[in-house]
């Protein structure tokens, strides 16, 4: 589910929504930091999440921070997280539903920041709230829609969630409200967006092709990992590193 085998071109064709979101991340980031005098500063000032400005009617600030980042590490790790954890859901939900749950999770995370953080809360930006919304969807699937996610990926998701949620409270610069309520929003919206999603029906095959059982003389030899297993382990390690980067960027 989380192992990527596509080349760059096939990834763009297979996951147009995620590709588009990452492209927006990149364009806005480069514009803000490479061309500040050509509107980059204005984008930053008008787009950053700022509770006092939201209270004064600038409601677009509940949306724009989802696509903006404050540093290269912030941009890279959020974008990597989306590329790693988003494709399975875009393929499962379809483009419209994926966009809906991603944006709603991010917006609800920013609304929670507005109400719970108060008017004096520090300016904030980043896609973390929306990304944690995707984690919330995976948690719901792991608990209530086991037909949509296999056991190995479910265990991986749970491990990443535990790490991510614990580390959220370690870094004092993290917008805790966005992480927690983006996650809650994704889990709460999941049963709505997963309605009528077709169940996965695994194909079963017989363990034995015939009735004859024979002794394998090589059964006690040390087994080598299958290349696909090695690749899966590497992607799991990479996923954990991305989560740490997402938290400690």
Note whether residue 131 is domain-resident. yes
Tokens of 53: 């400005």
DSSP 146: G
Note whether residue 182 is domain-resident. yes
Q: What is the pLDDT along the chain (249 residues), one digit of tens a residue?
A: 666 777 888 999 999 999 999 999 999 999 999 998 999 999 999 999 999 999 999 999 999 999 999 888 889 989 988 998 999 999 999 999 999 999 999 999 999 999 999 999 999 999 999 999 999 999 999 999 999 988 888 888 888 888 887 877 777 678 899 999 999 999 999 999 999 887 644 443 433 344 443 344 444 454 455 555 555 555 566 565 655 555 554
- Residues counted in the chain: 249
Which structural domain, as residue segments, surrounds residue 191?
Answer: 8-198+224-248
Note whether residue 126 is domain-resident. yes
Note whether residue 217 is domain-resident. no
The catalytic residues are 128, 179
Q: How many CA atoms lie within 13 A of 231 on its CB side?
A: 8
In this structure, the number of other CB atoms found within 10 A of the CB of residue 66 comes to 28
Q: How many CA atoms lie within 13 A of 153 on its CB side?
A: 19
Q: How many CA atoms lie within 13 A of 28 on its CB side?
A: 28
Note whether residue 82 is domain-resident. yes
CATH number of the domain within which 241 lies:
1.20.1540.10
Question: What sign has the CA pseudo-torsion 171, 176, 182, 183?
Answer: positive
- How many structural domains is the chain composed of? 1
DSSP 61: G
Residues whose CB falls within 8 Å of the CB of residue 31, separated by 6 or more in sequence, listed in order: 38, 39, 40, 43
Note whether residue 205 is domain-resident. no
Note whether residue 216 is domain-resident. no
Note whether residue 218 is domain-resident. no
Rounded Cα–Cα distance for residues 129 and 135 (Å): 10
Verdict on whether the full-model pTM lies above 0.85: no
Q: Is 245 helix (H, G, I), strand (E, B) or coil?
A: helix
Residue whose pair of structure tokens reads 């500063």 in the numeric block:
41
Residues whose CB falls within 8 Å of the CB of residue 10, separated by 6 or more in sequence, listed in order: none
């Amino acid at each position: 589910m989380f192992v990527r085998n596509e080349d760059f071109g096939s990834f763009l064709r297979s996951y147009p929504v995620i590709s588009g979101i990452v492209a927006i991340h990149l364009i806005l980031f480069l514009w803000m930091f490479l061309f500040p005098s050509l509107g980059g500063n204005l984008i930053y000032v008008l787009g950053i999440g700022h509770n006092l400005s939201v209270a004064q009617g600038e409601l677009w600030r509940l949306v724009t921070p989802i696509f903006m980042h404050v540093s290269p590490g912030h941009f890279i790790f959020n974008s990597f997280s989306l590329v790693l954890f988003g494709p399975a859901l875009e393929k499962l939900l379809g483009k419209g539903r994926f966009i809906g749950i991603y944006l709603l999770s991010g917006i609800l995370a920013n609304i929670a920041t507005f109400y719970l953080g108060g008017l004096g809360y520090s300016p904030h930006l980043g896609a973390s709230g929306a990304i944690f919304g995707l984690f919330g969807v995976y948690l719901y699937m792991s608990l209530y829609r086991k037909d949509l996610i296999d056991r190995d990926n479910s265990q991986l998701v749970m491990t990443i969630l535990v790490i991510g949620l614990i580390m959220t409270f370690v870094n004092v610069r993290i917008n805790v409200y966005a992480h927690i309520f983006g996650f809650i929003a994704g889990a709460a919206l999941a049963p709505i967006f997963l309605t009528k999603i077709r169940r996965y029906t695994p194909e079963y095959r017989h363990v034995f092709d015939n009735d004859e059982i024979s002794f394998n003389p090589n059964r006690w030899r040390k087994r080598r990992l299958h290349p696909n297993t090695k690749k899966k382990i590497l992607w799991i390690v990479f996923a954990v590193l991305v989560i740490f980067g997402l938290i400690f960027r």
